[in-house]
């Protein structure tokens, strides 16, 4: 399974947010981190892939144009967790998963199968004790874990996650990142927006850096992350170090000279 982005142009209001953006194919089994400065267009790009923002150009899954794919098929292939999660709902966590499962069209699963599937997801992401609580009563971190379960409700091939670790404590970040890698190893394509580049280097197979609506770098994190790139993209003077295990650490010393 491959996802290709060809010549994507996306406007928000009168502003060009993404311009002539193309990538080498993104492949199943890859955990891809999308990084870049605030306002670079990362969320807009995820939303274009999820088909929730209009764009020009072509986004294709296994050669099939996503914009032309039937909604029910697309909903089964792409799971999306937005940056801003709905948290005022009085739905219980378990029911919210069933709603997510049926969004976009029927799954063909019986009610009992849907509940079993929802419970399995809640167990996997450590939220089973929350099953009967309302979404409105969850903490930010709990809501984020449930959000990941919701994105996986239809067992999609492509999982799009917008800042999935932003509200999580250290232990939950580790769990979430391990799960993202595991989802990729199961054969899915996982694309997550992360700001923490040390974390991206530790976990991702591939790092795509967006700047001013264009891809500035794309490759293995260890190769992409250089002081020069960090100065150009983030305008910071930074050191890129390797620890005793050979893992990449980013140290920011201040604004670029
Ligand atoms: N609802 C909106 N209406 C108009 N412009 C918007 C809207 N949302 C975002 N934008 C603009 O689109 C551009 C890209 O925003 P986007 O949210 O995709 O960036 P981002 O890289 O995800 O940023 P961040 O890291 O801050 O979340 C920004 O210039 C932003 O001002």
CATH number at residue 150: 3.40.50.300
Residue ID of nearest Cα to ligand 1 atom 16:
41
pLDDT of residue 88: 77
Q: What is the mean pLDDT of residues 26-34?
A: 98
CA distances from 226 to 116, 155, 186, 235, 256 (A): 46, 36, 30, 13, 13
How far, in Å, is the centroid of ligand 1 from the Cα of 185? 31
Q: What is the mean pLDDT of residues 231-248?
A: 95
Q: Is the dihedral of CA 159, 163, 165, 168 positive or negative?
A: negative
Q: Which pLDDT band, with edges at 50, 70 and 90, does 61 fall under?
A: very high
CA distances from 232 to 33, 40, 216, 236, 257 (A): 19, 13, 9, 8, 11
115 shares its domain with 30 = yes
Question: What does the block give as tokens for 191?
Answer: 């694309």
For residues 106 and 169, which has the higher predicted lDDT (pLDDT)?
169
For the chain, give the mean pLDDT. Answer: 94
Q: What is the mean pLDDT of residues 57-79?
A: 95
240 shares its domain with 120 = no
Answer yes or no: is pLDDT of 66 > 90: yes
pLDDT digits (tens, 9 = 90+) for 102-158: 987 877 888 999 999 999 999 999 899 999 999 999 998 899 999 999 999 999 999
pLDDT of residue 36: 98
Q: What is the mean pLDDT of residues 40-69?
A: 97
Percent of the chain with pLDDT over 70: 100
Choice from 10, 11, 44 to test ligand 1 binding pocket (greatest atom count within 8 A of CB): 44
The response to whether residue 17 sits with its C-beta less than 6 Å from ligand 1 reads yes
How far, in Å, is the centroid of ligand 1 from the Cα of 190? 21
187 shares its domain with 208 = yes
193 shares its domain with 234 = no
Question: What does the block give as tokens for 140?
Answer: 């930010």
pLDDT of residue 104: 78
205 shares its domain with 251 = no
Q: Where are the alpha helices (DSSP H) in the chain?
A: 42-49, 71-77, 93-102, 111-124, 140-151, 170-185, 197-203, 221-224, 227-234
pLDDT of residue 108: 83
108 shares its domain with 86 = yes
87 shares its domain with 202 = yes
140 shares its domain with 236 = no
pLDDT of residue 96: 94
Number of domains in the chain: 2
The response to whether residue 40 sits with its C-beta less than 6 Å from ligand 1 reads yes
pLDDT of residue 255: 96
* Nearest atom within ligand 1 for CA of residue 162: 22
- Helices vs strands, H then E, count in the chain: 9, 13
pLDDT of residue 245: 92
Question: What does the block give as tokens for 103?
Answer: 């969004």
The response to whether residue 47 sits with its C-beta less than 6 Å from ligand 1 reads no
The model's pTM: 0.96
CA angle 83, 138, 155 (to 5 degrees): 55
96 shares its domain with 41 = yes
9 shares its domain with 125 = yes
HEC string for 76-117: HHEEEECCCCCCCCCCEHHHHHHHHHHCCCCCCCCHHHHHHH
* Nearest atom within ligand 1 for CA of residue 195: 25
pLDDT of residue 105: 80
122 shares its domain with 238 = no
The response to whether residue 13 sits with its C-beta less than 6 Å from ligand 1 reads yes
The response to whether residue 42 sits with its C-beta less than 6 Å from ligand 1 reads yes
16 shares its domain with 73 = yes
- Rounded CA-CA distance 24/213 in Å is 16
- Helix-strand-coil split of the chain, %, nearest 5: 35, 30, 35
Q: What is the mean pLDDT of residues 84-91?
A: 83
* Nearest atom within ligand 1 for CA of residue 83: 27
Residue 231, domain extent: 226-256
């Amino acid at each position: 399974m491959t996802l290709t982005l060809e010549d994507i142009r996306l406007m928000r209001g009168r502003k060009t947010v993404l311009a002539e953006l193309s990538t080498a194919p993104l492949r199943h089994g890859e955990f891809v981190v999308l990084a870049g400065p605030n306002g670079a267009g990362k969320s807009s790009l995820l939303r274009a892939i999820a088909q929730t923002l209009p764009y020009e150009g072509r986004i294709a899954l296994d050669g099939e144009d996503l914009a032309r794919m039937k909604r029910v098929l697309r909903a089964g292939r792409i799971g999306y967790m937005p940056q801003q999660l709905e948290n005022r709902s009085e739905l219980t966590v378990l029911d919210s998963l069933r709603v997510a499962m049926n969004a976009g069209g029927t799954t063909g699963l019986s009610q009992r199968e849907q509940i079993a599937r929802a419970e399995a997801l809640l167990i996997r992401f450590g939220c089973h004790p929350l099953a009967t609580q309302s979404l409105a009563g969850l903490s930010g971190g709990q809501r984020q874990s449930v959000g990941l379960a919701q994105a996986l409700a239809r067992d999609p091939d492509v999982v799009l996650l917008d800042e999935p670790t932003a509200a999580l404590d250290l232990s939950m970040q580790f769990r979430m990142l391990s799960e993202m890698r595991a989802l990729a190893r199961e054969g899915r394509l996982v694309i997550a927006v992360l700001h923490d580049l040390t974390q991206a280097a530790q976990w991702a197979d591939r790092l795509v850096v967006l700047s001013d609506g264009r891809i500035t770098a794309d490759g293995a994190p260890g190769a992409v992350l250089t002081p020069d790139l960090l100065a150009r993209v983030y305008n910071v003077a930074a050191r890129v170090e390797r620890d005793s295990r050979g893992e990449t650490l980013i140290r920011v010393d201040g604004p670029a000279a």
